[in-house]
Amino acid sequence: MPVDETRTTQLKELSLRLGYTFRDIKLLNKALTHRSYSNECNNPIILDNERFEFLGDSALDLIVSRYIVLNGRRLREGDLSRIRSQLVNEQSLAVMARELGLGEFLLLGRGEEVSGGRDKNSLLANAFEAVVAAIFLDSSFDTTYQVLLLIMKNVIDDTVINGKVGDHKGRLQTFINSKGLPPVSYKLVDESGPDHKKTFTIQVWVENKPHGAGTGRTKKEAEQEAAKMTLESLASTYS
């Protein structure tokens, strides 16, 4: 897909924020092209970023796994898995995408534009993954690793070094027990996305009432997020 001068200037601005200079700027442009835009263009040479999302998702898993294994030597496998789930999920990636301002660079169809697509967690997280893939395809794994560490290192270190391992379900159950409340239950309320990249939404129920909901790439991840949201809500209620 050709990139005109105005768009090239925009993408160079994003490159500065990423701390990486692209040899092929078209890769970054493709990473920011949502399906709604390519569908409206109805042009076979304008491809969306979904294949890049797939690659970027795998690269992120490996990047985070490599770093936390090397820097969290006392952490067991279960802790490592929870940390990675905390860092590589829709909500966390959307936060990092917002910090980079990815939303302003997205190419969206009219419907997505009107419905606030530039600030949707799902679109931002997917774009972040696609940008990771674009860097990887333009350079190498080692380069991508270094670029991503500059973006994610503080967040990762806060989790690894400061021991903020997110067993929110365990903390919620401890809180529930301390208040003499009945056990919580977790209910699947939504499941979406292609088979290779499912998104699950789980809601916590306490005393037959719905409380916090969470999303994740696995049901366990969504349960952890739902437990976190519920704990925050109940803590303010019982404070």
* Other CB atoms within 10 A of residue 126 CB: 30
Calculate the dihedral angle through the C-alpha atoms of 26, 30, 33, 38, rounding to the nearest 10 degrees: 100
Cα radius of gyration (the chain): 19
- Grouping H, G, I as helix, E, B as strand and the rest as coil, residue 200 is strand
CA 37 – CA 60 distance, rounded (Å): 25
Query: CA of 223: how far to CAs of 30, 164, 236, in Å?
Result: 33, 17, 20
Is residue 33 within 8 Å of 47, Cβ to Cβ? yes
Supply 121's token pair: 């967690």
Q: Can you spell out the DSSP letters for 125-186?
A: HHHHHHHHHHHHHHS-HHHHHHHHHHHHHHHHHHHHTTT----HHHHHHHHHHHTTPPPPEE
Residue 188 backbone phi and psi in degrees, to 5:
-75, 120
Residue of 53, 90, 112, 129 marked active site: 129
Identify the active-site residue in 57, 90, 112, 223.
57
Is 57 annotated as catalytic? yes
> Which of 96, 98, 230 has its CA nearest to residue 176?
230
Q: Tell me the catalytic residues.
A: 57, 129
